[in-house]
Amino acid sequence: MPVAACYAQKDSIVLNENNKYTYFKVGSSLPGINLSALAAYLKKNLTGLQEIKAATQETEVSGRGGILVFKKGLLTGQEEGRLDYTVKIDFKESKYRLIVTNFEFIPYQRNRFGTFTAIDGVTVPLEKKDSRIGEKQLSLYLERAGSLGIKANELVQDFVNNKTSIKPGNSEIKKVDTQKW
Amino acid sequence: MTKKFLLAGALFAAATTFVKAQDTSKVTPVPADPGLTIFGSVDTYYKMDFAGKKNSRIATSFANEANSVSIGMIDLGVKKKYNKALFVGELSFGPRGQGQSIPNADFTGGVVLDDNGNEIAPVVGTQSFHIQNLYVGYDLTDKLNVTAGYMSTFVGYEVISPVGNFNYSTSYLFTNGPFQNAGLKFTYAFTDKVSLMAGIFNDSWNNYTSSREVSTFGGQLMVSPVKGWTAYLNVLSGKFSGTEFDLTTSYQVSDAFKLGLNAATFSAPNDGGGFSGAALYPQYAVSNAVTLGLRAEYFKNKGKTGFNYSSIMPGDDVKAFTLTANVKAGGLTFIPEVRLDNGKTGTFQKLNGQVTKNAGQFVLAAVYAF
């Protein structure tokens, strides 16, 4: 079961028209989504999301983040680096489009304090992998990227189809006239 | 028997089909952090002194046993960060990580004899805990972190661990600066490009305990003006430990070329002299596995009388050039290195004991990191 699921995660990442690894999903959405609230919801729940905001025209939410990638054994693990990404959600005609892309590997090295930090100035886009990323690593990183995309889509789906996330219109605000009694 | 095989086969096929039929949109949970991390290194070297001297003539740290196949250290560290809390413990065994870098390291000065004159135990001079790093940290907010314990110093370009250095031999600035500081520090990250650290440390460098009090102030401003360029402005100042100002910076100019710089000046307490100097570190990757680098250093003893720094006498200076290659093979790095030092006066010795301005050496080291 885990093996099949892992393949599914990796396979959910494909190259887009600009030859960039991308997680792409289109889904239905209720109208009137509160995009600022969606941005806050994703910031709270999506791993590694550093900044995200709703665009002024209220049809787009976009942000960027990074997740740790590491070797993992039974009991121990070690950071290999960080996988940076961008996320964008567009809305039109009661549907949304989720794009998670621009996956870039930033290799880590051990520093003097025994922690692991980014090597200055070294960034490797996954689609342009060089000697710093082996085949096995690339497969693992694509799997992590796929897992991130699926999780992002789950969060967006949950939010945009939940009535509590819809901006209340004026007609929906209940008022009471205390002079009438 | 055949039925059992068929049944087993059918069950396997059913299980496989079931697996494939699972909802492929389900996410396999990926841990957010690597859990307990174990890291470390092992290093060994051969050194040849060009004058044939057995005793090391260049008195910087490590790689100091000439005409010998010698060892550095085995370094073993563990690290764990859970939510906002972190600990790091790093132990080192061997000359590089003990007597050559930890001043209150274990010292065997003889043996304990019983009433009949038989040896029963070594004499242990002082305590040694082999510790390179032992500290805890906590993220008070997303931007503010506090750390307390015994930590590698934040000052300088080079470090004790051979994994953290490009050259195997070390600079005069490294040897004469702090190795470790015990204390409490706060780091505030304004952005990922600017951060400020301020802390209070024990009154003497490199010791687990203070001599008198916790009175040395330490500060570090980190700026990263452009991608690939990071600069650290450091200060470490105390009534008993003296004051050192330090600039450590490196710039990854291109994929292949990196340039580093370290400049520092130290004033010993009570007008006791000091040193100043600068070292430039250009490095060029000629292939994925091979990088060539030079360290060009100028170091001056600022004092008029008194203390020598790495055998550089008051008023003297030295220029040191170290040409090094890093050849990577898996976790192993081979480090061949040629070093030529030139003192202002007779800093070094010839084989016959006469003084000379020059000293040179060849080192071949191997470092395995994990």
CA dihedral B62, B67, B68, B74 (to 10 degrees): 20
* Segments in chain A forming alpha helices (H): 2-11, 35-45, 135-160
Q: Cβ–Cβ of B159/A112 closer than 8 Å? A: yes
How many other CB atoms are there within 10 angstroms of residue B90's CB atom?
A: 27
Q: So where are chain A's domains?
A: 2-89+100-163
Contact yes or no for B33 and A70 at CB 8 A = yes
Average pLDDT over residues B58-76: 91
Q: Are A100 and A81 spatial neighbours (Cβ–Cβ below 8 Å)?
A: no
Q: Flag the least confident range among A21-30, A162-171, B32-41, B164-173.
A: A162-171
Quick check: A120 and B37 CB within 8 A? no
Q: Which residues pair with B119 in a beta bridge?
A: B113
B121: contact with A, CB 8 A cutoff: no
Closest CA relative to residue B370, chosen from A106, A116, A136: A116
Answer yes or no: do B38 and A8 touch at CB < 8 A: no
Contact at CB, B25 and A153, closer than 8 angstroms: yes
Cβ atoms of A160 and A30 within 8 Å: the answer is: yes
The position carrying tokens 């998670």 is A100
Q: List, for residues B299-356, the tens digit of each pLDDT value.
A: 999 998 888 999 999 999 999 999 999 999 989 999 999 999 999 887 888 888 888 8
A136 — contact with chain B (CB < 8 Å)?
A: no
**Which has more pLDDT, B61 or B173?**
B173
Q: What is the pLDDT of residues A123-169, one digit of tens each?
A: 999 998 777 788 888 999 999 999 999 999 999 999 988 865 666 55
Residues 75-104 of B with CB under 8 A from A: 77, 79, 86, 88-90
Q: Are B199 and B215 in contact (CB under 8 A)?
A: no
Architecture of the structural domain at A2-89+100-163: 2-Layer Sandwich (3.30)
List Cβ neighbours of B150 (8 Å cut-off, separation of 6 or more): B131, B133, B134, B135, B180, B181, B182, B208
> ipTM higher than 0.90?
no
Helix locations, chain B, DSSP H: 2-20, 172-176
CATH code of B37-369, in short, is: 2.40.160.10
- Chain A segment 69-108 residues within 8 A of B by beta carbon are 70-72, 75-79
